Amino acid sequence: MKPRSYCLSALLILVFVVDSPLVAQDLNLGNIHIPRAFVHGDTSYEAGVYRLVLTEKEGDPWFHVHDAQGNRLFEEMGVVKTEAAPRMRRAFRLQREMLRGYEYYRVRVIQPHRWVMAYFLLKK
């Protein structure tokens, strides 16, 4: 191929990429085991395995919570903390933990430019 055709190919690719809208993809966090029963809104949920998906809605992060069969139960807005994380080899890192006093269960998604957290109020 001639250098001129390389330039034309690169220009066409650039026009196609710039012209196409960027769509944020959902980040499937996988199965999360919540060790105690918890409350969301007025509904109580049992301890067990739930599937979480992190998505963006109007620029805000939202967690979609599904049961083990894949049925959507509810969605929870994520709490964002802007943090310059050290170099990461993956797109995200997931941390799960009980907070002091066993009042909340926190799921934290660590991305290179931010932390996104969801809090689940545990039943006493």
Q: What is the CB neighbour count within 10 angstroms for residue 86?
A: 6
**pLDDT band at 8; cut points 50, 70, 90:** very low
Residue with tokens 């006093």: 101
Closest CA to 59 of 78, 85, 83: 78
Domains in the chain: boundaries: 23-122
In this predicted model, what pLDDT tens digit does every residue of 67-118 receive, in sequence order?
989 999 999 999 998 876 567 777 788 999 999 889 999 999 988 888 899 9
In this predicted model, what pLDDT tens digit does every residue of 25-63 receive, in sequence order?
789 999 999 999 999 998 999 999 999 999 999 989 999
| pTM attached to this predicted model | 0.72
- Bridge-partner residues for 50, per DSSP? 32
Closest CA to 99 of 41, 27, 47, 34: 34
**3-state class (DSSP) for residue 101:** helix
- The residues, any chain, with a CB within 8 Å of residue 112's CB and separated by 6 or more, are 85, 87, 88
